[in-house]
């Protein structure tokens, strides 16, 4: 009987369940994590520069017909305005809009006189001519709508565009602005300190020169209704 009991004990001990082995977590390698960057884009940097240089305000819209004077609020002495006309407005004389300084002087950079139905122009960017005072809409403008916005709301300078204003955040580069149809093309760049004449209109109705390193504001004013294209010199 003792031998049988001993044999049974041996058999039972051989049937005991194996305990699972827990892996050593200290030896596991964590998967690599991708680096997180908070670097702003070029356009975001240009927008921050515009707010710091020219200030910001809440955009507003004014509608009317014919001649009218739109006075800039104190916090909107620098910005850009977008004017939309009724179709065929250009058939009338004095249908454009232009900016005047607080002292009544004419600010050439703020003029919108375009055969198309919409144009945008940045104003109040040249400290040498003093603060902007108001927009004067011509008596032949017909039905119109004007929205005044802060400079930082401008889009980035594209490869093609119209009678508009833009933010530029790129490097210095030679440049040619041209249109499909003949018509004067005027391009001016503003850095908040002084305007530049590094891009000049040509007799072949292009504008050729150097696009200076940003951040800056670029006004493109043209006579042709065809869009302009930008290429390197």
The model's pLDDT over 159-201, given as tens digits with 9 standing for 90+, comes to: 999 999 999 999 999 999 998 777 788 999 999 887 777 888 8
Query: Which residues are bridge partners to 119 per DSSP?
Result: 83
- CA proximity to 47, closest of 55, 39, 37: 55
pLDDT exceeds 70 at position 31: no
Cis peptide upstream of residue 97 (ω within 30 degrees of 0): no
Q: How confident is the model at residue 223 (pLDDT cuts 50, 70, 90)?
A: confident
Q: 117: which DSSP letter? A: S
DSSP state of 205: S
What's the rounded mean pLDDT across residues 71-80?
A: 96
3-state secondary structure at position 14: helix
| Res 143 pLDDT > 90 | yes
Count CB-CB contacts under 10 A for residue 75.
12
Q: pLDDT at residue 25 above 90? A: no
Joined tokens for residue 70: 């739109």
Q: What digits encode the pLDDT tens for the residues 41-56?
A: 999 999 999 999 999 9
CB hemisphere CA count around 173 (13 angstroms): 12
pLDDT value of position 30 = 53
Q: Looking at residues 95-109, what average pLDDT do you find? A: 93
Does the pLDDT of residue 37 top 80, yes or no? no
Q: What is the pLDDT of residue 89?
A: 82
DSSP string, 48-113: HHHHHHH-----EEEEEESSEEEEPPGGGSSEEEEEEE-TTGGGSSS--EEEEETTS-EEEEEEE-
pLDDT band at 24 (very low <50, low <70, confident <90, very high): low
pLDDT value at residue 93: 80
70 vs 90, higher pLDDT: 70
Average pLDDT value for residue range 151-164: 95
- Mean pLDDT across the chain, nearest whole number? 84
Residue 140 φ/ψ region, left for φ over 0, alpha for ψ in the -120 to 50 degree band, beta for the rest? alpha
The answer to whether the CB of 79 falls within 8 A of the CB of 149 is yes
């Amino acid at each position: 009987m003792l031998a049988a009991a001993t044999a049974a004990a041996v058999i039972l001990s051989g049937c005991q369940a194996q305990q699972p082995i827990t892996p050593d977590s200290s030896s596991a390698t964590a998967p690599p994590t991708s680096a997180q960057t908070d670097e702003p884009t070029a356009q975001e940097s240009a927008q921050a520069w515009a707010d710091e240089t020219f200030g910001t305000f809440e955009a507003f819209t004014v509608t009317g017909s014919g001649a009218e004077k739109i006075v800039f609020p104190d916090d909107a002495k620098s910005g850009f305005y977008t004017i939309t006309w009724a179709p065929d407005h250009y058939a009338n004389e004095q249908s454009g809009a232009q900016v005047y300084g607080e002292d009544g002087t004419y600010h050439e950079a703020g003029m919108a006189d375009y055969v198309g139905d919409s144009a945008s122009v940045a104003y109040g960017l040249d400290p040498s001519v003093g603060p902007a005072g108001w927009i004067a809409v011509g008596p032949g403008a017909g039905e119109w709508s004007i929205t005044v916005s802060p400079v930082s709301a401008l889009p980035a300078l594209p490869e093609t565009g119209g009678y508009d204003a833009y933010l530029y955040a790129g490097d210095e580069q030679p440049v040619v602005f041209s249109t499909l149809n003949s018509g004067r093309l005027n391009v001016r760049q503003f850095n908040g300190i002084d305007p530049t004449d590094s891009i000049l209109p040509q007799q072949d109705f292009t504008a050729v020169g150097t696009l200076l390193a940003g951040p800056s504001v670029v006004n493109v004013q043209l006579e042709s209704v065809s869009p302009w294209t930008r290429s390197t010199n």
